[in-house]
């Protein structure tokens, strides 16, 4: 006696994409979440006027540049060629330098102070003035 195992149903010829769609969706979510943790490198520009301002801390070396190009380190006028020595002498344990530059100061003057700060391993912060305080 022969047993007949055949059925009237046809074999499944299609492939279900539901599992593949789930995997692609999980990969997409993974890459979107991990890509937001990559640090954004760029140059931050602080303008002379700002809506808000952070309070000044006494742990900063203060350098001022006037509109006519004179440099002041901790309120003492310093010639440009002695700027490195002046900043180094007042640095102590301080890790940051606050630059208070006049709007008429040049980029070259800012670059001079920034390069000296870099040589002394100081962070450079640009001091700004609130817009409301000028009115």
Q: Which residue has the tokens 């540049």?
A: 65
Question: Under 8 Å CB-to-CB from 39, ≥6 apart: which residues?
Answer: none
Mean pLDDT within 122-129: 80
Q: How far apart are CA 79 and CA 84, in angstroms?
A: 10
Residue 82 is predicted with a pLDDT of 92
Residue 127 tokens, joined = 């001091």
Q: Which of 102, 18, 92, 98 is nearest to 61 (CA)?
A: 98
25-54 pLDDT tens trace: 988 888 777 765 544 433 233 335 545 555
pTM: 0.54
Domains of the chain: 49-134 (3.30.420)
């Amino acid at each position: 006696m022969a047993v007949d195992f055949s059925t009237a149903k046809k074999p499944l010829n299609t492939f279900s994409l539901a599992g593949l769609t789930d995997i692609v969706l999980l990969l997409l979510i993974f890459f979107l979440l991990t890509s937001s943790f990559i640090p954004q490198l760029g140059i931050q520009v602080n303008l002379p006027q700002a809506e808000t301002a952070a309070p000044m801390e006494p742990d900063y070396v203060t350098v001022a540049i006037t509109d006519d190009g004179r440099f002041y380190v901790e309120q003492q006028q310093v010639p440009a060629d002695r700027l490195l020595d002046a900043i180094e002498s007042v640095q102590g344990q301080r890790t940051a330098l606050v630059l208070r530059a006049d709007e008429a100061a040049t980029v070259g003057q800012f670059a001079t102070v920034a390069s000296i700060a870099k040589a002394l391993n100081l962070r450079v912060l640009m001091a700004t003035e609130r817009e409301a305080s000028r009115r």
